[in-house]
Structure formats: structure tokens, C-alpha cells
Amino acid sequence: MAKPGAFKPNKGALKRVKVTGTGKIKRRRANMSHLMSTMSAKRRRKGRSAAVCPPTEQRRFREMLGLQ
């Protein structure tokens, strides 16, 4: 059991993002699990790469992970 007042990071956020060496937060792209036959090849290719979260999302993830 956690100590009273101890910070517990959001486990769902921990599993979904990675923090880069420079402190940016990387995430996986959405809509890339199935039904990709309707997508253009360009869209499928772009979906394979990880994306860097925008600053507003990064702020939210930092709070959840306890990086502030």
C-alpha cells in the first residue's frame, strides 16, 4: 500500500507514452489497428511512425506521470 500523500503515476499514461532524452513526449498514432484498406498508402506509412505530442498534451501527460 502506498504511503499517505505519496504520488502515484497514472499507469495507463505510463504504458502509452515515452519520454525522449530531450524531454519531449512521444505517442503512437491513432486509427492504425485495422480497416486500413480504405486508407491511402501515404496515410498508412505516416501511421507507422511515432508522433511527438503537442505542448498542451505534453503538459497534461507530465502531470499524470509526475514529471513536473
For each of the chain's 68 residues, which pLDDT tens digit applies?
767 888 899 999 999 999 999 999 999 999 999 999 999 999 999 999 999 999 999 999 999 999 87
- Note whether 60 and 12 are within 8 A (CB): no
Distance, CA of 40 to CA of 65 (rounded, Å): 35
In this prediction the pTM is: 0.76
pLDDT at residue number 34: 94
pLDDT at residue number 45: 95
